[in-house]
Amino acid sequence: MKIATVVGARPQFVKASMVSRALAESNSGVEEVIIHTGQHYDANMSQVFFDELEIPHPKYNLGIGGGSHGENTGRMIESIEKVLLKERPTWLLVYGDTDSTLAAAIAASKISIPIAHVEAGLRSFNRLMPEEVNRVVTDHVADILFTPTTSATAQLVKEGIPAQKIHQVGDVMHDAALHFAMIAKEKSDIICEVGLQEKKYILVTLHRQENTDNCERLTEILSGLSSSQLPVVWPMHPRTQARLEQFGLQVPDIVRVIKPVGYLDMIMLEKNACLIATDSGGVQKEAFFYSVPCLTLRDETEWVELVNVGANRLVEAKAEVLAAELRLNRGPVSNRLNLYGGGAASVEISSVMVGGH
């Protein structure tokens, strides 16, 4: 049995690390061929993840990144199709909702290679988000859909996906959080290197198009951050850096910008923050896993259960709204609720795929 795994962005490297490990430990003789699209091509956003997470290095690195959504997706479809025709895998395995996910799913569907989608069923119900289109299309061409939550499963059923295709396994990001937390504590010195005090800073991440490509929203977010009474540390995504320069915007003095960090350093920055403000789906969940309150700088989220239990708050991109949220004195959030499974999602995914579901 041969599985072609397509990855392209940081969260996918984390998820793939857990499932690849489970497939290898299944002793089923599965051959996994990893295809890296190159969507995240910066060394700090790609290579370091393969090194830290002990993911087998990709057999193929397509080097496609830096263009528009349409340009990247089209080039990826063409290149992935060539690899799939050469390798002829039993399954294509994709993760999440990136352009790499969509491109791989389309390429495989056109040449009748079965598709397995990890993190299926999530919906923000905002079709202006490229990620929403990516996840909806991928779900509707997939043959196995691995959902992380009951709400994701219910959404797929509502959309008419046959129940026998759906497997609710929990969240592989939860698996990763449990597995790598102690490793990060032993190996990462990022807190000392950046000169931070535990639980006395705010962590910010920002990369989504609706924030970075909108000068007004970006200006409002920067203005809101300027009101913080605590130091703010911001590992800055290249997209965000480019837009700040394009718009001529300055980062407030209270904010310390650092380069993108590896996964282990990110874990430590998340665990030791007193508050996280982000537009990343993965970071929203990781905040919950580490009991850190989270502000989501978006109008909606696909991780609705975090909002429902009060672990996460949606914050309008208005300076006064964000400033007011930053002034609130929040304590740790409870992560005892079993929202994302018991931490064995990757093993269940491996079992389903190896067992022929």
pLDDT in single tens digits along all 357 residues of the chain: 999 999 998 889 899 999 999 999 998 899 999 999 987 655 554 567 677 887 888 999 999 977 888 999 999 999 999 999 999 999 999 999 999 999 999 999 999 999 999 999 999 999 988 899 999 999 999 999 999 999 999 999 999 999 999 999 999 999 999 999 999 999 999 999 999 999 999 999 998 889 999 999 999 999 999 999 999 999 998 889 999 999 999 999 999 999 999 899 999 999 999 999 999 999 999 999 999 999 999 999 999 999 999 999 999 999 999 999 998 878 888 877 789 988 999 999 999 999 865
Q: Three-state secondary structure along 188-199?
A: CCHHHHHCCCCC
Say which of 36, 117, 167, 207 is annotated catalytic. 207
CA 124, CA 201: separation in Å to the nearest integer? 29
Tokens describing residue 159: 């959309």
Indicate whether 153 and 256 sit together in one domain: no
Q: Is 51 helix (H, G, I), strand (E, B) or coil?
A: helix
In this structure, is residue 75 part of a structural domain? Answer: yes
For residue 133, count CB atoms less than 10 angstroms from its CB and return exposed for 0-12, middle for 13-18, buried for 19 or more.
middle
In this structure, is residue 336 part of a structural domain? Answer: no
What CATH number does the domain containing 126 carry?
3.40.50.2000
Indicate whether 93 and 72 sit together in one domain: yes
Quote the radius of gyration of the chain (alpha carbons, Å). Answer: 20
Indicate whether 36 and 66 sit together in one domain: yes
Tokens describing residue 116: 């397995």
Which of 49, 78, 157, 166 shows the shortest CA–CA distance to 118?
A: 166
> Do the Cβ atoms of 307 and 252 come closer than 8 Å?
no
Indicate whether 194 and 320 sit together in one domain: yes
In this structure, is residue 184 part of a structural domain? Answer: yes
> Do the Cβ atoms of 99 and 70 come closer than 8 Å?
no
Count the helix, strand and coil residues of the chain and give each as a percent rounded to the nearest 5.
Answer: 45, 15, 40
Catalytic-residue membership of 140: no
In this structure, is residue 333 part of a structural domain? Answer: no
Indicate whether 320 and 345 sit together in one domain: no
**pTM > 0.85: yes or no:** yes
Domain range enclosing 206: 179-327
Number of domains in the chain: 2
* Strands of the chain, DSSP E: 2-7, 31-36, 60-61, 91-95, 115-118, 144-147, 166-168, 202-205, 232-235, 255-258, 275-278, 294-296, 312-314
- Cα-based angle 78, 80, 82 (whole degrees, multiple of 5): 75
Indicate whether 111 and 28 sit together in one domain: yes
Long-range contacts of 131-139 (CB under 8 A, 24+ apart): 131/97, 131/98, 131/208, 132/97, 133/102, 134/97, 134/98, 134/99, 134/101, 134/102, 135/96, 135/97, 135/101, 135/302, 137/102, 137/105, 137/106, 138/94, 138/97, 138/101, 138/102, 138/105
Indicate whether 193 and 162 sit together in one domain: no
The angle that helices 172-187 and 281-289 make with each other, rounded to 10 degrees, is: 70
Indicate whether 150 and 208 sit together in one domain: no
292 Cβ neighbours under 8 A, 6+ residues apart: 270, 271, 273, 274, 275, 276, 332, 333
Indicate whether 116 and 233 sit together in one domain: no
271 Cβ neighbours under 8 A, 6+ residues apart: 181, 184, 290, 292
- The CA–CA distances, whole Å, from 298 to 19, 187, 279, 307, 338 equal 29, 33, 6, 12, 25
DSSP state of 201: S
Indicate whether 285 and 141 sit together in one domain: no
Indicate whether 221 and 96 sit together in one domain: no
Indicate whether 60 and 109 sit together in one domain: yes
For residue 61, count CB atoms less than 10 angstroms from its CB and return exposed for 0-12, middle for 13-18, buried for 19 or more.
middle
Tokens describing residue 144: 């196995």
In this structure, is residue 335 part of a structural domain? Answer: no
The angle that helices 99-110 and 130-141 make with each other, rounded to 10 degrees, is: 30
In this structure, is residue 65 part of a structural domain? Answer: yes
In this structure, is residue 28 part of a structural domain? Answer: yes
- What was the pLDDT predicted at 203? 98
